[in-house]
């Protein structure tokens, strides 16, 4: 997600109302961003149909849907925190390749926490859509979900995990809105997505806790065990140090 310094034009599309968003930003990555989002929705739609077919072929697999869905959502929360930690801690905005597209948005977010509420859907979510393609494409191509059983459940996990990763930026944006949509408030009150109050702890200096930004369920565990602190120490021992 690369943004320019001159936001322009307000847009009130149904999709933007549904997930939040606002001003349109110019981006030299626009074609890439649109392609990633389009590929994401195509693959998740196709895999969803395959999973349904697999469930019909193997009805006994349905008993595992809830635990698979729970595991996928928890995994997405962990990945949101892990990537957040890496982007906040290592490299700089000028790092080749990663800097403009991954590091810059996180660093901008600490300088201007409300910036995420001004990004339209594609701007806010294209990077997450892109990263999930590394799981969606091989699963869709090589795992035959329509056969039922384990392949169906594995595809279901990847599908729901990818949707959880997409949810990361959406839930994060809601946590910074003064008046998020009614459905967002409902999900926040239910604890399904991270709330404004819980996420505010990350924005208190020194910004070294509460990295998970999907549901935030794992933050107490990861912070209580000082997981990221120990990870940073381990990385420093192999020559990878904080940067930026």
pLDDT at residue 11, as a whole number: 40
Categorize the per-residue pLDDT at 28 as very low, low, confident or very high, splitting at 50, 70 and 90: low
Region 91-103 average pLDDT: 69
Render pLDDT for 162-174 as a digit per residue (tens, 0 to 9): 999 999 999 998 9
Region 106-131 average pLDDT: 80
Q: Are 153 and 62 in contact (CB under 8 A)?
A: no
How far apart CA 91 and CA 32 sit, in angstroms, is: 23
Coarse DSSP helix, strand, coil percentages of the chain, rounded to the nearest 5 percent:
70, 0, 30
3-state secondary structure of 5: coil
Give the CA radius of gyration of the chain. Answer: 19
Region 22-34 average pLDDT: 64
121 pLDDT exceeds 70?
Answer: yes
Top pLDDT among 91 and 188 is at: 188
Instruction: Please list, in sequence order, all residues whose beta carbon lies within 8 angstroms of the beta carbon of residue 141, skipping any fewer than 6 positions away.
Output: none
The candidate with the shortest Cα–Cα distance to 152, out of 75, 70, 39, 63, is 63
Characterise 191 by phi-psi region: left (phi > 0), alpha (psi -120 to 50), beta (else): left
pLDDT at residue 92, as a whole number: 72
The candidate with the shortest Cα–Cα distance to 140, out of 9, 41, 14, is 41
- One-character DSSP codes across 143-163: --GGG-HHHHHHHHHHHHHHH
pLDDT at residue 88, as a whole number: 84
pLDDT at residue 205, as a whole number: 82
Q: Are 23 and 115 in contact (CB under 8 A)?
A: no
Q: 64-78, 89-103, 120-134 — which one is most confidently predicted on average?
A: 64-78
How far apart CA 157 and CA 155 sit, in angstroms, is: 5
Task: Report whether the peptide linkage leading into residue 186 is cis, meaning its omega lies within 30 degrees of zero.
Answer: no
Instruction: Please list, in sequence order, all residues whose beta carbon lies within 8 angstroms of the beta carbon of residue 130, skipping any fewer than 6 positions away.
Output: 32, 36, 40
Categorize the per-residue pLDDT at 101 as very low, low, confident or very high, splitting at 50, 70 and 90: low
pLDDT at residue 41, as a whole number: 97
How far apart CA 24 and CA 123 sit, in angstroms, is: 8
pLDDT at residue 203, as a whole number: 85
23 pLDDT exceeds 70?
Answer: no
12 pLDDT exceeds 90?
Answer: no
Percent of the chain with pLDDT over 90: 58
**Where do we find the tokens 């594995």?**
154
Minimum mean pLDDT range among 19-23, 35-39, 121-125, 225-229: 19-23
- The residues spanned by each domain of the chain are 8-237
How far apart CA 146 and CA 144 sit, in angstroms, is: 6
């Amino acid at each position: 997600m690369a943004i320019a310094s001159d936001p322009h034009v307000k847009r009130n599309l149904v999709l933007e109302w549904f997930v939040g968003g606002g001003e349109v930003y110019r981006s030299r990555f626009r074609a890439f961003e649109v392609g990633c989002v389009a590929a994401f929705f195509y693959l998740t739609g196709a895999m969803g149909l395959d999973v349904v077919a697999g469930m019909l072929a193997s009805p006994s697999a349905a008993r595992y849907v809830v635990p698979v869905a729970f595991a996928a959502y928890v995994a997405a929360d962990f990945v949101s925190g892990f990537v957040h930690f890496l982007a906040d801690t290592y490299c700089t905005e000028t790092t080749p390749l990663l800097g403009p597209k991954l590091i810059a948005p996180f660093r901008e977010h600490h300088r201007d926490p409300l910036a995420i509420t001004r990004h339209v859907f594609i701007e806010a979510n294209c990077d997450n859509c892109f990263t999930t393609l590394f799981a969606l494409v091989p699963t869709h191509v090589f795992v035959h979900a329509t056969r039922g059983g384990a392949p169906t459940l594995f595809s279901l996990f990847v599908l729901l995990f990818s949707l959880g990763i997409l949810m990361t930026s959406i839930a994060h944006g809601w946590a910074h809105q003064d008046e998020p949509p009614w459905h967002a408030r409902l999900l926040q009150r239910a604890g399904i997505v991270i709330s404004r109050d819980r996420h505010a702890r990350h924005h208190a200096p020194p910004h070294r806790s509460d990295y998970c930004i999907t549901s935030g369920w794992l933050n107490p565990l990861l912070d209580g065990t000082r997981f990221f602190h120990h990870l940073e120490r381990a990385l420093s021992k192999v020559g990878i140090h904080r940067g930026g």
